[in-house]
Amino acid sequence: MDDTSKASGGRKTKIQVKNLTRSFGDLTVLNDISFNVAEGEFLSIVGPTGCGKTTFLNCLSKLLPTTKGNILIDGEEANPTKHNISFVFQEPTCMPWRTVRENVAYGMETKKFPKEKLEERLKYILDLVGLSDTANLYPNQVSASMEQRIAVARAFAVDPDLLLMDEPYGQLDVKLRYYLEDELVRLWKTLNSTVVFVTHNIEEAVYVAERILILSNKPTKIKAEVLVDLPRPRSLIDPKFVEIRKQVTELIRWW
């Protein structure tokens, strides 16, 4: 059962996706996708434009019902009210009427964290993400990148079973993206979360992930799997890094 996750390295399987299929009328978008994610793994998913990445994430997060197949978390059918599933969207999702602190707390609030635990964890996360200084400002008083960091902090705060990210840094400039990617990796390592990171940016995927799944065109299947066993911090000009990046690029190009 664990043969798909070569990167697991003896880690426990956290997420099982079994025969996930989603069609809209006659159009099959996701075609019988199966894979596992190990506990604490950082998995990236890349694919050509329009291959159904967003549909895929929406199914994983249970925003969309699946046509066939199921998603198991710790062997149980995934359920947003029971499991902690966090989703960082492409667009900023700050509530303008809440301060930075209250925005970060939203997930924990909804998950009904006890008050003391919530406060304690909130302080910890705000410090970790470097938002303590701006905690009492409103989202429109901070920069756009900061808004995305708020969403990331909110997602990590609930100690998610599964953290889904949909091109969270797609709209930011390159320099800032590197900075936030480093921060993301740091958060993931510190908090030992299970992350599924969807992106169309191959370099980004190779930079952050332990393992990359490459999707095919519609109807979407998993086309290939690439392990990224490079030490961190990773260098973008390391020959091995470049090689993996080329490999993934080729895999995407030759559908």
Partner 1 sequence: MAYESVKVETPLLLRILPVASVVLFFAVWQAIVDFGVVPNTMLASPTQVAVLFWEKLFVADPDGAVLSVHAWVSIQEAFTGFFLSLAIGIPLGLMMGWFSVAEGLARPIFELIRPIPPVAWIPLTIFWFGIGIPGKVFIIWLSGIVPCVINSYVGVRMTSPTLIQMARTYGATDWEIFKKICIPSALPMVFGAMTISQAYCWTTLVGAEYLAADQGLGYLITMGRRLASPPMVVLGMICVGLTGVAIGILIERVEKKLLAGIRR
What is residue 223's DSSP assignment?
E
Q: Which residues pair with 195 in a beta bridge?
A: 42, 163
Q: Which is nearer to partner 1, 151 or 209 (CB)?
A: 151
With CB under 8 A as the contact rule, which of the stretches 21-29, 39-47, 104-112, 233-241 interacts with partner 1?
104-112
Name the residue nearer to partner 1 (CB basis): 65 or 231: 65
Answer whether 81's CB lies under 8 Å from 158's CB: no
Angle between helix 115-129 and helix 100-110 axes, rounded to 10 deg: 130
The reply on whether position 93 binds partner 1 by CB under 8 A is yes
Q: Is the CB of residue 195 less than 8 Å from the CB of residue 212?
A: no
56 binds partner 1 (CB under 8 A): no
Nearest distance from C-beta of residue 80 to partner 1, angstroms: 4
Interaction of residue 130 with partner 1, rule CB under 8 A: no
d(CA 34, CA 18): 5
Q: Is 131 in the site for partner 1 (CB under 8 A)?
A: no
Footprint of partner 1 on 143-202 (CB under 8 A): 151, 158, 164
Nearer to partner 1 (CB atom), residue 63 or residue 176: 63
Q: Give the nearer residue to partner 1 in terms of CB position, either 85 or 209.
A: 85
Touching partner 1, residues 62-81 (CB under 8 A) = 62-63, 79-81
At closest approach, how far in Å is the CB of 108 from partner 1?
9
Under the binding rule (CB under 8 A), the answer on residue 5 touching partner 1 is no
Nearer Cβ to partner 1, position 48 or 92?
A: 92
User: CB under 8 A: which stretch of 35-43, 135-143, 179-187, 194-202 binds partner 1?
Assistant: 135-143
Of 89, 178, 179, 241, which one interacts with partner 1 (CB under 8 A)? 89
Size of the site for partner 1 (CB under 8 A): 30
220-240: string of b/e by CB count within 10 Å (b at 16+)? bebbebbebeeeeebeeeeee
Distances (CA, A) of 4 to 13, 90, 130, 147: 10, 28, 36, 35
Q: Which range of residues in 14-22, 30-38, 92-100, 196-204 is near partner 1 by CB under 8 A?
A: 92-100
Q: Please tell me whether residue 87 adopts helix, strand or coil conformation.
A: strand
54 near partner 1 (CB under 8 A): no
Show contacts of 147-152: CB within 8 Å, 24+ apart: 147/92, 147/94, 148/88, 148/92, 148/172, 148/180, 149/180, 149/183, 150/92, 150/94, 150/100, 150/103, 150/104, 151/88, 151/89, 151/92, 151/93, 151/94, 152/88, 152/180, 152/183, 152/184, 152/187
Residue ranges that bind partner 1, judged by CB under 8 A: 61-63, 79-82, 85-87, 89, 91, 93, 95-99, 106-107, 110-111, 133, 137-138, 140-141, 151, 158, 164
